[in-house]
């Protein structure tokens, strides 16, 4: 019997439009070409010229193959993994043959043939697909494990205890407000307990973040002020679920609670070209000591999930000013249509 931590997602082709996947493929191909040049050279002085000869055909095949696979990504994703892998191999082989036919006559010094090109293209394609398949299998359980780590990092006992106390204090005096708070709390925990393997709408994540801040405002009162800047927010963008909430929890826990004065959390969500940017800024107190240690767990968890979903195309950075702490999140602009 499989447990949630041992379940794996089904095999799927790599995202051929992902910068990380492209870079890994290009580096692997050129390293392999360098090894072939080294093995086929009688001296170190011949390695460079031999590598250049190989690269003269390799680079066009590599770049054209990646370009073709990027264009066909959505089409290939519609097939089951095995068929998609065969189609990927066919694309690479066809490109290799075409490049040999067009450029082969211009490079007579390169000792090769159609069959040798097909063998090399097939071997490399198989190796790359096997690598990405093993990488996906190795990382897929982390999606569930990351969810469990997120629960431990996010659902702090004091948050639940304080939230319930705040609701109890309103039941008699403001029953309608208490009811809304309980509904917000139920929505939050419903999302907390879900599998959360798929990407979620940015608009929904912003809504959940607002519900969380509404609950915190019950106990913090005027000490907590939130400034939303979402005029340029792409509502249809997809992001890893429960990305905003832990960042805002850190902002409240480390930026608002340590002081009796009013603190402002600024949240700016906008799209710039093909990227979604999320800025969260909160007050910063340099004498906070261990009060700031909890930032690392949430940040590491979010970085891990960004890498799982977007590889090298997403990033999370932090800036510490004299009196503020800012988190800057960059995510590729992906919609339901493009991600399906």
Q: How far apart are CA 103 and CA 92, in angstroms?
A: 16
Give SS3 for 18: coil
Q: Give the list of residues 6+ apart from residue 52 with CB closer than 8 angstroms, or none.
A: none
Phi, psi of 113 (to 5 degrees): -155, 170
Residue with tokens 């990380």: 20
Q: For the chain, what percent of residues have pLDDT higher than 70? A: 80
Mean pLDDT of the chain: 80
**Band of pLDDT at residue 150, cut at 50, 70 and 90:** low
Residue 183 exposed, middle or buried by CB count within 10 Å (0-12, 13-18, 19+): exposed
pTM exceeds 0.85, yes or no: no
Domain chopping of the chain, boundaries: 19-141, 157-339
| Chain segment 191-233, per-residue pLDDT in tens | 766 655 678 899 999 998 898 898 888 888 889 999 999 999 9
**Band of pLDDT at residue 7, cut at 50, 70 and 90:** very low
Q: In this predicted structure, what is the pLDDT of residue 4?
A: 40
Q: In this predicted structure, what is the pLDDT of residue 206?
A: 94
Query: 73 with 15: CB under 8 angstroms?
Result: yes
Helix axes 244-251, 202-220, angle to 10 degrees: 20
pLDDT tops 90 at residue 332: yes
Phi, psi of 127 (to 5 degrees): -65, -45
Helical residues (DSSP H) of 155-201, grouped into ranges: 157-170, 175-192
| Chain segment 65-123, per-residue pLDDT in tens | 989 998 988 888 888 888 988 999 999 989 888 888 777 665 555 555 677 778 888 88
Select the CATH number that applies to the domain covering 157-339 from these four: 3.40.50.261, 3.30.565.10, 3.40.30.160, 3.90.228.20. 3.30.565.10
- Which of 130, 68, 56 lies closest to 93, judged by CA? 68
């Amino acid at each position: 019997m499989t447990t949630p931590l041992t379940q794996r997602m089904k095999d799927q082709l790599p995202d051929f439009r992902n910068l990380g996947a492209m870079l890994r493929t290009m580096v692997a191909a050129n390293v392999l070409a360098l090894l072939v040049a080294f093995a086929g050279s009688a001296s170190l002085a011949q390695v460079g010229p031999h590598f250049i000869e190989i690269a003269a055909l390799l680079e066009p095949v590599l770049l054209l193959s990646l370009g073709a696979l990027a264009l066909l990504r959505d089409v290939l994703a519609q097939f089951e993994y095995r068929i998609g892998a065969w189609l990927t191999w066919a694309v690479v082989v066809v490109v290799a043959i075409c490049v040999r036919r067009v450029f082969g006559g211009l490079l007579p010094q390169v000792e090769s043939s159609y069959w040798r090109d097909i063998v090399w293209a097939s071997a490399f394609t198989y190796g790359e697909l096997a690598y990405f398949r093993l990488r996906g299998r190795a990382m897929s359980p982390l999606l569930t494990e990351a969810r469990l780590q997120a629960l431990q990092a996010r659902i702090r006992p004091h948050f639940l205890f304080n939230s319930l106390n705040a609701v109890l204090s309103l039941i008699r005096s403001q029953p309608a407000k208490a009811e809304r708070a309980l509904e917000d709390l139920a929505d939050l925990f419903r999302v907390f307990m879900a599998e959360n393997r798929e990407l979620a709408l940015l608009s929904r994540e912003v809504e959940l973040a607002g519900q969380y801040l509404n609950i915190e405002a019950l106990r913090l009162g005027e000490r907590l002020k939130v400034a939303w800047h979402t005029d340029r927010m792409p509502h249809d963008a997809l992001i890893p679920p429960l990305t905003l909430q832990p960042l805002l929890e850190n902002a409240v826990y480390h930026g608002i609670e340590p002081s009796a004065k009013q603190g402002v959390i600024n949240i700016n969500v906008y799209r710039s070209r093909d990227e979604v940017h999320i800025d969260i800024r909160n007050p910063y107190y340099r004498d906070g000591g261990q009060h700031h240690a909890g930032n690392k767990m949430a940040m590491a968890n979010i970085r891990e999930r960004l890498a799982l979903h977007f590889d090298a195309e997403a990033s999370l950075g932090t800036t510490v000013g004299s009196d503020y702490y800012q988190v800057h999140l960059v995510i590729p602009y992906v919609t339901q249509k493009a991600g399906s």
